[in-house]
């Protein structure tokens, strides 16, 4: 069974199934297609599947032309019919792992996907979970569901965990060049997993188990969350002392060892950094441990939108305005620059806070022309064009995400008040306040 699957991977005759065709699944699909594999993609949203089959893209940085070419070549098809999951030789799960309302792990998408796959599993398949999760998920949740069919993991079906490492719109790294961590339930599982990913990425990094791979992903993101929490707290201290935190970071970054620059902002966004630390803190409690350091960083980062809100309130007061009835234009509502990804964006939380206090809120974001439906918030708004006339019309401009497309000279020249959360403006000006 193992050798037959390895041979199919090696000669590119294996069919790859990718479940979840979003920011992780679509780039992975394109990479498998690029080297000659046929990919059958699955998404619970039939509208998305239809759009992909028509050669359309619903993610800005993924070109529709590449999807059209994959479809036209007969190497890619999207489906909402999970009963077809018996067709692929590899099943790669790329579904969300959010938090619930109590900030506890919500594995509903992972478990729901596995339950949908379970009746259609067949010998000779490899199952890989890429969704970020707590250590133990692969073996505690996926393995029993496979074995309930009477299959032996490592003999009939091969099970691995290989965390996604996508950085949307980063021109310096792409799926092929980002090293891939892989942990298998057995040695044969690992051999199949490394062969699968080795066919499409330059370097596969094997680890001893799925638990080690799951912990690796959490460490990567917690490392970033903790350091961002540190620099966000330093920003607050520096602000009170009237010190330019960006000058300080730039100076510290000249040290050629022992320092890596991180930059403050209005809060954490994206699907990984604001969420993943809580997956570890939740699991650690099972072992009687309190991850105080990690949780403190989470508290600091979660409090940043409130701090920005207070800075905006003070800035409006200094200009003779209250938040109530003020017209506020939020610049950039994606979670980071130059993408259309809205997941966990602190800009949206700030918009909700401003509305709650009676402000009239609008936004401008060239990457998000119409405010999408997201889990927690919804605004019936469309992006406002950024012109001198538009800028004159608002009491304050809240710079939340520093897209390259914005004309920052125009903004500084024409706006009555700019509250800058990203350190775009380094020169002191009467109408610019750092937050």
Half-sphere exposure of 85 (CA within 13 A, CB side): 26
Q: Residue 64: CB partners within 8 Å, gap ≥ 6? A: 55, 56, 57
Please state whether beta strands 125-129 and 90-93 pair in parallel, antiparallel, or not at all (unpaired): parallel
Would you list the DSSP string of 371-404?
Answer: PPP-SS-----BPPP--HHHHHT-SEEEE-S--T
Two structure tokens written together for 344: 């966990």
Q: Could you give the CA distance from residue 387 to residue 167 in angstroms, rounded to a whole number? A: 31
Would you list the DSSP string of 223-281?
Answer: HHHHHHHHHHHHHHHHHHTT--HHHHHHHHTTSSSS-------SS--SSSTTTHHHHHH
Closest CA to 332 of 306, 371, 376, 373: 371
Q: Are 183 and 190 in contact (CB under 8 A)?
A: yes
Residue range 2-208, CATH number: 3.40.50.720
Give residue 374's pLDDT.
79
User: Which CATH fold topology does 303-434 show?
Assistant: Rossmann fold (3.40.50)
- Segment holding 309, helix H or strand E: helix 304-318
Residue 146 Cα to chain centre, angstroms:
28
Give residue 228's pLDDT.
95
Two structure tokens written together for 382: 């469309």
| pLDDT tens across the length of the chain (435 residues) | 899 999 999 999 999 999 999 999 999 999 999 999 999 999 999 999 999 999 999 998 899 999 999 999 999 999 999 999 999 999 999 999 998 888 889 999 999 999 999 999 999 999 999 999 999 999 999 999 999 999 999 999 999 999 999 887 778 888 999 999 999 999 999 999 999 999 999 999 999 999 999 999 999 999 999 999 999 999 999 999 999 999 999 999 999 999 999 999 999 887 778 888 889 999 999 999 999 999 999 899 999 999 999 999 999 999 999 999 999 999 999 999 999 998 889 999 999 999 999 999 999 999 999 999 877 788 999 999 999 999 999 999 999 999 999 999 999 999 999 999 999 998 878 899 999
Give residue 276's pLDDT.
86
Pick left, alpha or beta for residue 85 (phi over 0 → left; psi -120 to 50 → alpha; otherwise beta): alpha
SS3 107: coil
Q: Could you give the CA distance from residue 114 to residue 192 in angstroms, rounded to a whole number? A: 20
Give residue 272's pLDDT.
78
SS3 54: coil
Q: Could you give the CA distance from residue 219 to residue 227 in angstroms, rounded to a whole number? A: 12
Q: Could you give the CA distance from residue 169 to residue 340 in angstroms, rounded to a whole number? A: 9
Please state whether beta strands 327-331 and 204-207 pair in parallel, antiparallel, or not at all (unpaired): unpaired
Give residue 159's pLDDT.
98
- Segment holding 320, helix H or strand E: none
Please state whether beta strands 15-19 and 90-93 pair in parallel, antiparallel, or not at all (unpaired): parallel
Residues annotated as catalytic (active site), given as ranges: 272
SS3 290: coil
Two structure tokens written together for 343: 């997941």
Taking each helix axis from N to C end, the angle separating 210-240 and 276-286, rounded to the nearest 10 degrees, works out to 120
Closest CA to 280 of 108, 163, 105, 109: 105
Give residue 284's pLDDT.
93
pTM for this one? 0.93
DSSP state of 84: G
Chain region(s) in the chain for CATH 3.40.50.720: 2-208, 303-434
């Amino acid at each position: 069974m193992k050798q037959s699957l390895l041979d199919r991977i090696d000669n590119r005759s294996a069919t790859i199934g990718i479940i979840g065709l979003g920011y992780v699944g679509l780039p992975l699909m394109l990479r498998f297609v690029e080297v000659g594999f046929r990919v059958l993609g699955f998404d619970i949203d039939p509208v998305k599947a239809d759009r992909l089959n028509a050669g359309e893209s619903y993610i800005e940085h993924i070109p529709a032309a590449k999807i059209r070419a994959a479809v036209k070549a007969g190497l890619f098809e999207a489906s909402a019919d999970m009963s077809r999951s018996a067709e692929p030789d590899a099943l790669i799960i790329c579904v969300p792992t959010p938090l619930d309302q109590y900030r506890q792990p919500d594995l509903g998408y992972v478990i729901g996907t596995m339950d949908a796959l379970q009746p259609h599993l067949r010998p000779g398949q490899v199952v890989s979970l890429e969704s970020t999760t707590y250590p133990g998920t692969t073996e505690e949740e996926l393995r029993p569901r496979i074995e309930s069919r009477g299959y032996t993991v490592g003999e009939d079906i091969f099970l691995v965990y290989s965390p996604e490492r996508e950085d949307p719109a980063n021109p310096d790294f792409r799926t092929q060049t980002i090293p891939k961590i892989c942990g298998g339930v057995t040695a044969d599982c690992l051999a199949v997993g490394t062969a699968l990913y080795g066919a499409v990425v330059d370097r596969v990094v094997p680890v001893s188990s799925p638990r080690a791979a799951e912990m690796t992903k959490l460490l990567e993101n917690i490392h970033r969350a903790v350091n961002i929490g540190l620099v966000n707290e330093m920003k607050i201290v520096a602000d009170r002392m009237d010190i330019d935190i960006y000058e300080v970071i730039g100076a510290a970054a000249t040290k050629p060892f022992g320092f890596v620059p991180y930059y403050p902002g209005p809060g954490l966004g994206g699907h990984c950094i604001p969420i993943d630390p809580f997956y570890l803190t939740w699991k650690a409690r099972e072992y009687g441990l309190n991850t105080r350091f990690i949780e403190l960083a989470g508290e600091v980062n979660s409090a940043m939108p409130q701090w920005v809100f207070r800075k905006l309130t003070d800035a409006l007061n200094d200009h003779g305005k209250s938040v109530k009835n003020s017209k506020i234009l939020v610049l950039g509502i994606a979670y980071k620059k130059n993408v259309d990804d809205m997941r966990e964006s602190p800009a949206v939380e700030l918009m909700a806070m401003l509305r709650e206090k009676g402000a009239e809120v609008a936004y401008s974001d060239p990457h998000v022309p119409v405010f999408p439906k997201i889990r927690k918030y919804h605004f019936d708004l469309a992006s406002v064009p950024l012109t001198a006339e538009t800028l004159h019309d608002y009491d304050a401009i809240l710079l939340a995400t520093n897209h390259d497309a914005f004309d920052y000279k125009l903004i500084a020249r024409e706006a009555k008040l700019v509250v800058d959360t990203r350190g775009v403006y380094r020169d002191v000006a009467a109408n610019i306040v750092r937050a």
